[in-house]
Amino acid sequence: MNTVTITMVKQPQLFLEADLITPDQFAGKSIEAIGAIEISEGKIKYPLASFAKIEGVSGATAAETKIVLNGDLTRVKRIGQQMTAGEIIINSNVDMYTGGWMKGGKITVNGNADSFTGIAMAGGELTINGNCQNHVGSAYRGDWRGMTGGVLRVTGNVGNDIGTFMRGGTIIVGGDAFIHVHTHGEGGTIIVKGNIQARVGGQSVKGDIFVNGKIDFMMPGYKYVEDVEKDVDGVKAVYAHYVGDLGERHPEAKGQKVFTNLYLKK
Amino acid sequence: MQEVIKHVACPYCGACCDDLEVTVDDGKIIEVKNACIIGTEIYHHASREGRVGTPRRRQPDGTYKDITYEEAIDFTAKMLIKAKKPLIFGFGSTNCEGMAAAGRVAEDAGAVLDNCASICHGSSFLAIFDTGYPSCTLGEVKNRADVVIYWGSNPAHAHPRHMSRYGIFPRGFFTGKGARGRKVIVIDPRYTDTARCANQFLQVQQGHDYELFDAFRMVMHGYAADVPAIVAGVPKEKILEACDVIKAGRYVHIFFGMGLCHSDGRNHNVDIAINLVRDVNEYTKCTIMAMRGHYNIAGPGIVWAWQFGFPYCIDLTKGSVAHMNPGETSSVDLANRGEIDAFINIGTDAGAHFPIRAFEKIGGAGIPMVTIDPSVNMAATVSDVHIPVAIVGVETGGICYRMDNVPIQYRAVVKPFNGILTDEQLFDKIYERMQELKNAGIECDGTWDYATPLADVRPIKEVYQ
Amino acid sequence: MTEYIIKNGCVIDPTQGINGQKMDICIKDGKIVDKVSNSAKVIDATGKTVMAGGVDIHSHVAGPKVDAGRLFRPEDKLFKSPNRKSNLRMEMGFSVPSVSKTGYDYARMGYGFVMEAAMPPLEAAHVHEEIRDTPIIDEAAMPVLGNNWFLLEYFKNHEIENAGAYASWILNATRGYALKCVNPGGTEAWGWGLNCITIHDKVPYFDITPAEIVKGLIETNEYLRLPHSIHVHANNLGNPGNYTTTLDTLKLVEGYKANNDFGREQVMHHTHLQFHCYGGDSFKSSSFESKSKEVMDYVNKQKGLTIDTGNVTLDETTTMTADGPFEYHLTHLNHLKWTNVDIELETAAGIVPFIYDPKTYIAGAQWAIGLELPLFAKDKDRCFITTDHPNAGPFWRYPRIYKWLLSANARNDLIKNELKYGDKVLDTTYIGELSDKEISLYELAQMTRSGVAKALGLSNLYGSLKTGMNANVAVYDIDPENLPSDPEQYETAFGNVFAFFKDGVLCIENHDIVNYSMPKKTVWVNSIVPENKQVERDIRDKFLHSYTVDLENYAVQEEHVHNPYAIKVDITE
Ligand code: SF4
Ligand SMILES: [Zn+2]
């Protein structure tokens, strides 16, 4: 795998949109061609090179291309958007939409990421070694097809709307979540190792939610079934198993209603 | 000579009462009949002393100097072209013609176009994106509804004639008994004046409407037995009682207000309400409606949906396609995050309605600002340029959309004060000026530093020399 | 105004019986003329097809429910909107395009007139606002009247003159064009969460049946001598087994004759017939099948009818109709978001996104049924191509439908290679039976131009290249003497007109929109009837007691109608 290293040398006045920073776009391009890739600040389009130093070589395909981003990327949006393969490592905080609509490959953020991280993600691995804001692994507005695949891991805390309209894949949160976890979910798995204030699994149709900490306010629509032992992200523990949301529609499989499972660590 | 103008629609709240009678004498408004107190006030404001009759430019010492429309338009056009990401926000008191004209300007300028919904009922839009909007016009409520629910809204104060014209008291085609034939349920954290008119009042714990809706939905899905003893501060019996009333209704209607849109998880408070409506339709007819605040705050959503496909928070900076994602492209978020470099505040008072922190950010960053508003509001007092415009519904007509999205054709009752322009005329002139400036080679090259004031306004002729 | 000469093209104009002859078409001052001066700008149409501008009889392009469809589907825009061309406005949306995209795309297909299919009278001003902002195309809109309380009461009492006076008032008040009828009675029943499935189901309270409503509307329409016939979307749309309801509805025309001065022959236009030709008892069972032949057998015999197809294009789209109960039913099938607007005293509307997925049997069968209709149609002047935009697919897919009709190969390929249940579709529909049938370019012109204009009573304005006509002219990259071997070329050519004139203004030149600011008309019918005190009283009464707007604010004010073009029909003369 070849590596392209991008180091921010200049900060924008506003924010940069860098949806073309992906292995797919970089693959097979010379450093000059990569430097000419468009990023925009408001209505102005700049070549990437006007904000960053670019070194290394790209691979022939996305899968063979690794991008390392250094410097301060706090004001850069959309890195890794729609990527299908390869790898991105971001050694900084980063702004919104990181790994949005990604289909494959791997992104690691060594820092915090803002909102809409992994929005409508369909595959690959997205790891944030830090905190995230809201709408992690959520759907785009109005779309009933939210996250459908892949693994989205946040080691720190997250805000609201985690995995809204989720249909597949896994979200693992190391810290706490605020409110709305797996809202409108229709599949997939969410693991929150810390606490959640409220609204876990509201309007959820099916899927699995694991919570290792406390939920301050349970949804009334979740009903206790039994205690079960579960292996969650490699650790075995006993969980209280609830099903719900009893206020939501649920599909049937083999004559049985399928509910969302909420497992609360004992 | 006195003249009575009838069937005038009120340019105040989303109820858009269109039965007002306004008496004018020699261009002055003498009397307003049929309007409520707050509606009457807007008409008297028009004839008040102290209105601004010309555009004004702020001076270095903070005072304001009158300038010509040409100068004000030139400043605005130049600012829109030069800025990398100008924001045009407001439209709480603009007619649809003005909004359409603004849409054309915003697209040409590569601006972000947003309206007041973004800080009030915007969360309802998010809910509508996710779950749809099974609604109706207000006449359906009047003619058919025998169960009316006000959830998180207090029309007694915010929409004074709403209950008498549409919600509780009117005698309609199938509802000849009026209020006596209607069961009214009010759900609110406070015992409001609206609650006084209710048959049932459920006092929901502040911020826990979502859980209460879930309990209602559990009952509709046949899980009444599993509802906990108390949900969101409301005892189970009261929930079951309310559900019985709903199921027994022939036509159930829910009006929801800012109470749902202003607490945490706001959009989901509304989308679960909408999902409850879907559930209730399994038993009986049920519809829902947002209690929109301003008389034409439904307008921008409608106009911009046909222009761009989005109702608000429309980022047109890309030039190729419009992009919308509240949380990112919403005015308050843009201001808070420092994502804009010019600001037009139109038909609202961002000074009064933005969260203070967000407004301070704009002021603190020295972002150039233009206020377009008939009156001197808070935002106008800190703007570089203030452009007065005619008051819609008083000095100019136009189409406005009632809270149920019914278009109401507004009427002018007096001539515009001092011959000032309408919003539509103003935006069309800004558009023309932008074309002139662009043709003269003025463009956005990214070098403009918004914190240094724009070059002094010069008469148009001079610019061309 | 500039003169133009479209030189040496193969002209197809069924109104003059011209079928591919090489001719020049001359344009001067917005009209088609016999000759122009030497200074006329030349458009070289050698090896190309020249037709009159297209005419769309049924498309949901402007108004409250179209806009609600735009508003509630941000995901219909995301990654799905084409990039703006430098000289044009943005073009947003896939299934429910913005007004700019609507105008541009119709022009790109060579269309000059579009009928907005459903205008709720109470919200007419909204429709006209959108028409104002839609570039290029002339438009008209049909007020929805099949569930209107005034008419239900008049029909119940057999008061056709009163119904006529009221309908005439509505046409004038809304600046409307024709009497539209959607799910007669069923939409009023939906006010209570109910529906009317057959034409003999009683409407709650009003004590009238759909059959009586349809007959009442026909009588009213012919009494008013309107240019268009009543325009019907029958009961029981979209349900397996509904073809019997459809036949029952169509047969209601028996005994009626068209009464007008516009050359219209039918007394009922039935729209999006594809949705009404289903056999079987459920979408889930394998009994679902095509009954297009049974329905078209009747249509072919009955001169009093015209139809449009409502072709399924196998896309993700947005369904929207004044058939409120149907949309409620649909949201239960696919569990997607649902918008509904019941409109006081008048009508309703429902909107639900829908995916016609070629991997499902039902979508494949619906696709086949839609194509069977025009292939079975004997009289191509009575069968028109639509997608009931956006219900069965977006209108800008018309060129794809033309391809499937002009080329049997294109159709058969799709059955084999793209439909997952192609074999089953062949078993349960007639598409296999029609596997070698193709329509000609001449027939296509009938189904998209001459026939449509005639059915709308607009033969004087659209659908023809006769001298004196408004110069709406489309030039396509198709050589009738050397038809393309690759059917894809049909789709490309019909979707990217080589040149297009709107009212004599060159709108598209060399495939690019060069001008979209020409004046566009709002066509409406100014119906004049004898004074009717009773109806005036009834109107005042209903506004006093039931409506929530003042009578005086109901009619669309002149200033809100964009460039109106009135067709006057005076029955008092
Ligand atoms: S209720 Fe609202 S619209 Fe009606 S008069 Fe009062 S302020 Fe005006
Ligand atoms: Zn239709």
Dihedrals φ, ψ of A196, to 5°? Answer: -130, 135
Q: Report which of B146, B79, B131 is spatially closest to residue B372, judged by C-alpha positions.
A: B79
Q: Tens of pLDDT along A193-233? A: 999 999 999 999 999 999 999 999 999 999 999 999 999 99
Is C74 at the interface with chain B, CB within 8 A?
Answer: yes
Is C553 at the interface with chain B, CB within 8 A?
Answer: yes
What average pLDDT does the structure give for chain C?
A: 97
For the cut 90, the answer to whether the pLDDT of residue B59 exceeds it is no
Ligand nearest to the CA of C60: 2
| B291 in contact with ligand 1, CB cutoff 6 A | no
Q: Tens of pLDDT along B130-187? A: 999 999 999 999 999 999 999 999 999 999 999 999 999 999 999 999 999 999 999 9
Q: Work out which ligand 1 atom sits closest to the CA atom of B10.
A: 8
CA distance B149 to B197: 11
Q: Which chains touch A (3 or more CB pairs under 8 A)?
A: B, C
| B13 in contact with ligand 1, CB cutoff 6 A | yes
For strands C49-52 and C54-59, give the pairing.
unpaired
Under the banding of pLDDT at 50, 70 and 90, the label for residue B265 is: confident
Provide the angle, in degrees to the nearest 10, between the axes of the packed helices B96-109 and B69-82: 50
Inter-chain contact B84–A221, Cβ cutoff 8 Å?
Answer: no
Minimal CA separation from A42 to chain B, in Å: 5
Per-residue pLDDT, averaged over B410-419, amounts to 93
Distance of CA B317 to the CA centre of its chain: 23
| B167 in contact with ligand 1, CB cutoff 6 A | no
**Ligand 1 atom 3: residue of nearest CA:** B16
Per-residue pLDDT, averaged over B197-206, amounts to 96
State the Cα torsion C153-C156-C159-C163 to the nearest 10°: 50
Burial class (CB in 10 A: 0-12, 13-18, 19+), B91: buried
Report CA torsion sign: C120, C124, C130, C135: positive
For the cut 50, the answer to whether the pLDDT of residue B459 exceeds it is no
CA distance A69 to A95: 13
Under the banding of pLDDT at 50, 70 and 90, the label for residue B463 is: very low
Per-residue pLDDT, averaged over C283-291, amounts to 89
Is A14 at the interface with chain B, CB within 8 A?
Answer: yes
Q: Which pLDDT score, from 0 to 100, does residue A79 have?
A: 98
Domains of chain B in start order, with CATH, are: 2-45 (no CATH), 52-120+296-464 (3.40.50.740), 122-290 (3.40.228.10)
Inter-chain contact B408–C553, Cβ cutoff 8 Å?
Answer: yes
Under the banding of pLDDT at 50, 70 and 90, the label for residue B460 is: very low
The percent of residues in chain A predicted with pLDDT above 70, rounded, is: 100
Q: Which pLDDT score, from 0 to 100, does residue B450 have?
A: 65
| B15 in contact with ligand 1, CB cutoff 6 A | yes
CA distance A185 to A189: 9
* SS3 at position C138: strand
Per-residue pLDDT, averaged over B372-394, amounts to 92
| B17 in contact with ligand 1, CB cutoff 6 A | yes
Q: Which pLDDT score, from 0 to 100, does residue B454 have?
A: 56
For the cut 90, the answer to whether the pLDDT of residue B308 exceeds it is yes
- Considering only residues B358 and C506, tell me which one the structure prediction assigns the higher pLDDT: C506
For the cut 90, the answer to whether the pLDDT of residue B281 exceeds it is yes
Q: Tens of pLDDT along C335-356? A: 999 999 999 999 999 999 999 9
For the cut 70, the answer to whether the pLDDT of residue C202 exceeds it is yes
| B450 in contact with ligand 1, CB cutoff 6 A | no
Inter-chain contact C72–B140, Cβ cutoff 8 Å?
Answer: no
CA distance C508 to C5: 15
Distance C179 CA to ligand 2 centre (A): 13
Q: Report which of B23, B19, B12, B46 is spatially closest to residue B34, judged by C-alpha positions.
A: B19
For the cut 90, the answer to whether the pLDDT of residue B448 exceeds it is no
CA distance B224 to B238: 12
Number of A–C residue contacts, CB under 8 Å: 17
Alpha helix positions (H), C137-209:
149-156, 160-174, 186-190
Place of tokens 């497992």: A263
Q: Report which of C318, C443, C461 is spatially closest to residue C384, judged by C-alpha positions.
A: C443
Q: Tens of pLDDT along C104-148? A: 999 999 999 999 999 999 999 999 999 999 999 999 999 999 999
Q: Which of C74, C335, C336 sits opposite A249 (nearest CB)?
A: C335
Q: Which pLDDT score, from 0 to 100, does residue B121 have?
A: 82
Per-residue pLDDT, averaged over B366-393, amounts to 91
Name the helix (H) or strand (E) containing B303. Answer: helix B299-308
Inter-chain contact C75–A140, Cβ cutoff 8 Å?
Answer: yes
Architecture, CATH, for domain C51-513: Alpha-Beta Barrel (3.20)
Q: Which residue of C has its CA nearest to B141?
A: C344
Inter-chain contact C74–A142, Cβ cutoff 8 Å?
Answer: yes
| B35 in contact with ligand 1, CB cutoff 6 A | yes
Q: Which of B85, B129, B223 sits opposite A42 (nearest CB)?
A: B85
Ligand nearest to the CA of C395: 2
* SS3 at position B295: coil
State the best of A203, A216, A257 to mutate against chain B, taking most chain B CBs within 10 Å: A203
Q: What is the DSSP letter of B420?
A: P
Residue-by-residue DSSP string for A80-140: TTT--SSEEEE-S-B-TTTTTT--SSEEEESS-B-TTTTTT--SSEEEESS-B-S-TT-PP
Is C325 at the interface with chain B, CB within 8 A?
Answer: no
Q: Tens of pLDDT along C357-387? A: 999 999 999 999 999 999 999 999 999 999 9
Structural domain boundaries of chain A? 1-108, 112-266
Ligand nearest to the CA of B19: 1
Q: Which residues of A touch B208 (CB under 8 A)?
A: 198, 217
| B43 in contact with ligand 1, CB cutoff 6 A | no
Is C41 at the interface with chain B, CB within 8 A?
Answer: no
Pocket-testing residue among B7, B161, B400, B413, ligand 1, by greatest number of atoms within 8 A of Cβ = B161
Q: Tens of pLDDT along C65-97? A: 999 999 999 999 999 999 999 899 999 999 999
Is A185 at the interface with chain B, CB within 8 A?
Answer: no
State the best of A143, A148, A167, A250 to mutate against chain C, taking most chain C CBs within 10 Å: A143
Per-residue pLDDT, averaged over B59-83, amounts to 92
Distance B390 CA to ligand 2 centre (A): 40
Per-residue pLDDT, averaged over A17-24, amounts to 97
Q: Report which of B279, A188, A123, B263 is spatially closest to residue A201, judged by C-alpha positions.
A: A188
Per-residue pLDDT, averaged over A158-162, amounts to 97
Q: Tens of pLDDT along A45-76? A: 999 999 999 999 999 999 999 999 999 999 99
| B29 in contact with ligand 1, CB cutoff 6 A | no
Inter-chain contact B223–A221, Cβ cutoff 8 Å?
Answer: yes
Minimal CA separation from C100 to chain B, in Å: 7
- Considering only residues B364 and B420, tell me which one the structure prediction assigns the higher pLDDT: B420
Q: Which residues of A touch C78 (CB under 8 A)?
A: 140, 143
Q: Which pLDDT score, from 0 to 100, does residue B280 have?
A: 98
Provide the terminal-to-terminal Cα distance of chain A, rounded to the nearest Å.
45
Per-residue pLDDT, averaged over C308-332, amounts to 97
